[in-house]
Amino acid sequence: MKYDFSKYFDEDNTILNKFIENYTTYITNEDDMARLISIYKTILEHFLEPFEAQTLIDLSTKLADCEIGLDKPYAIVSNEIYSLQNLLIQHMVLVRSDLDILGFLDLFNKIDNNIASIYLKMYIEKLLSVNNLRINSLSDLIDRNIIKYYEAHLSWLSDLAKYVSDPSIHVKPELNEQKCGFGQWLQTDGKRVIKNNSKYKSITHLHKNLHMYGDKIQDYLQTHEQHIVITYLEKCELLSLSIGTELALLDNIIMNNNVIKDQLTGALNRHALENVFASQYELSLATKNSFVLAMCDLDFFKSINDTYGHIAGDKVLKSFVALAKKYLRNSDMIIRYGGEEFIILLPAISKDMAFEVLEKIRKEFSLSYVELDGQEVKTTVSMGIVEIEPECQYRKDFLESYLNVADKNLYRAKETGRNRVIKDSF
């Protein structure tokens, strides 16, 4: 199809400059900016004379390849196209009032749909690759409780992506949320296992929406509106990750209940640390969540034992664990690492949020005390934390590496006056 908008334009770079200034300011590399400007300039130059729609569609392919090379999300690129479209319409309406608005919008819809098709293909390739990594990470777990149902839905998501890529050769996954394996489990054993009613409602709602978007994807595949398909497929991945996070936290609660405890404090036993950490790492990798490890050491603890005796020391250790649990979620874990040292694992949390939780523990512990023979026995705690953002499958040397970082931050806390939390990332 041929278009002719030449009567609305002359060789004026006003539109290009306005577009570049307002909608591409996030690009700081001069070479990248020059490459992008060159493509958009070529697109605008075609409006100076009659052109075939395919000409701009071919240019949009070049634009999509450039944007992908800049690692730019589709949503931002789509907004660029929409913004350029609006700038052009504003200009043309001001110049003349006889604009064929429907034909113009159809042209830009074709451009956006072509870019979306390219992004969708790339997104599906990435999704299948990362989903395979997630499934493999879950298969490595020693304790597989509720999380096995998340693994099944990762496979469902991969099947959906394959179906989107080519409905003619791939089988459509189950789109009814009550009939898929996870949905059937939710309606039966899931009600018994997920004891928290609000948590159960939240997971059920997430699962229902996940299948709703899957169903909508099928509708828009028929209309070939790829820009909507990619948006909905991204929604499906986010909802799937949210379900995985909820199930992983429930699995942690089960693990907390099943792991052998330290007899004195009720914290988890040190011998469980390696398995617990490996499981947390794999769960975080599978659900695309960071988690935080905190190494805690009670300050001047030896002097408590020397001054008041080991009974007082034991009371202080127990009081620290009891106080910490007041602020920790049921899915968080506190492990007695040795003597007066403890490790706290906080899943599905950022470093800053974890810092706030640990600061509350530190502050209240500094104000608390235990009584022994009418005397108040008290001390403080120093903590070093590290945020862990898994990117590859777990290796045995990871635990030692992260412990070393946390220990260095703990040392900094001790060296700078004790009774403080030092955070860092790895």
Q: Using pLDDT thresholds of 50, 70 and 90, give the confidence band for residue 26.
A: confident
| Segment (H or E) for 294 | strand 291-298
Pairing of the two strands 341-346 and 291-298: antiparallel
CATH of residue 364's domain is 3.30.70.270
- Same domain, yes or no: 105 and 192: no
Q: What's the pLDDT score for residue 332?
A: 95
Q: Find out whether 221 and 161 touch, Cβ atoms under 8 Å.
A: no
Q: With respect to residue 131, please indicate whether it lies within any of the assigned structural domains.
A: no
Q: Beta-carbon neighbour count of residue 349 at 10 Å? A: 20
Among 202, 222, 254, the domain-final residue is 254
pTM for the predicted model, two decimal places: 0.83
39 by Cβ neighbours in 10 Å (0-12 / 13-18 / 19+) ranks as middle
Model confidence pLDDT, tens digit, residues 149-166? 888 889 999 999 999 999
Structural domain for 102, as ranges: 2-120
Q: Please report whether residue 93 resides in a domain.
A: yes
Contacts for 44 with CB less than 8 Å, ≥ 6 apart: 15, 16
User: What is the pLDDT, as a whole number, of residue 370?
Assistant: 94
Please, which residues bridge with residue 292 across strands?
346, 387
Q: What is the pLDDT of residue 197?
A: 87
- Does some domain include residue 138? no
Helix (H) or strand (E) holding 3: strand 2-3
Strand ranges, E, within 303-392: 333-338, 341-346, 370-372, 375-377, 381-388
Q: Where a domain ends, among 104, 120, 136?
A: 120
> Are 267 and 396 in the same domain?
yes
Whole-number pLDDT of residue 390 = 92
**Weakest mean pLDDT among 18-27, 137-146, 317-326, 375-384:** 137-146
Work out the mean pLDDT of the chain and round it to a whole number. 92
350, amino acid identity: S
Please, are residues 254 and 145 in contact by the beta-carbon 8 Å criterion?
A: yes
From the list 121, 231, 117, 233, the residue with the least C-alpha distance to 173 is: 233
Average pLDDT, stretch 37-55?
94
pLDDT classification of 191: cutoffs 50, 70, 90: confident
Which of 54, 87, 120 marks a domain boundary?
A: 120
pLDDT at 175: 95
Per-residue pLDDT at 121 exceeds 90: yes
Bridge pairing between strands 421-425 and 381-388: parallel
pLDDT at 194: 85
Backbone angles phi, psi at 103, to 5 degrees: -65, -40
**Residues 310 and 244 reside in one and the same domain:** no
Domain check: are 397 and 347 in the same one? yes
Q: Are residues 339 and 281 in the same domain?
A: yes
On the question of pLDDT at 96 being above 70, the answer is yes
Q: With 60 as the cut, is the pLDDT of residue 426 above it?
A: no
Closest listed residue to residue 293, CA positions, set 208, 381, 403 = 403
Determine the pLDDT at residue 100: 86
